[in-house]
Amino acid sequence: MPNVKITRRLHFSAAHRLARPDWSEARNQRTFGDCANPNWHGHNYELDVTVSGPPDPGSGYVMDLKELKALVEREVVADLDHRNLNLDVPWLEGVLPSTENLVMRIWDRLAPHVPPPAALDKLVLWETPRHWVEYSGPDG
């Protein structure tokens, strides 16, 4: 069976701020502009999770979409939705929540849980409808 890729889109709304505690406020403002606003700002994020693998000869599924959705909700959305990415998320402690850093941490949360022979193939994380990041893992 050849590989097919399936994707499920999920969303979460969160606050964040781009600023490093080890930098001065002036340097944070210079580097991150209004993304460094001390009182936070926020976004509606969309997360596209792509899994690749051969369709199962019985079910015709690469992976059951209900299981994929449940996995992403449990490992990612439940922790991020209506939360502050700098303050509220144990697995983002010490991480500057740029979209780039965020997508790499989400990969680490999801990759171990995709049941073989399927495998996590790609994540696309939309911060706005006109700006997004894409990640295919440390070897991608």
Q: Which residues are catalytic?
A: 35, 82, 127
C-alpha to C-alpha distance for 86 and 63, rounded to whole angstroms: 32
Give the residue, chosen from 24, 25, 33, 115, that forms a contact with a second copy under the rule CB under 8 A. Answer: 33
Check residue 58 for interaction with a second copy (CB under 8 A): yes
Q: Does 24 bind a second copy (CB under 8 A)?
A: no
Number of residues binding to a second copy, judged by CB under 8 A: 63
Strand residue runs (E) in 30-82: 41-53
Count of residues making up the chain? 140
Distance CA 68, CA 27 (A): 41
Name residue 68's amino acid.
Answer: L
Q: Does 98 bind a second copy (CB under 8 A)?
A: yes
DSSP state for residue 138 in the 8-state scheme: T
Q: How far is the CB of 86 from a second copy (least distance, A)?
A: 8
Cα(94)–Cα(60) distance, integer angstroms? 42
Binding site for a second copy (CB under 8 A): 2-11, 13-16, 18, 20, 31-35, 37, 39-44, 50, 55, 58-62, 65-66, 81-84, 87-88, 96-101, 103-104, 128-135, 137-140
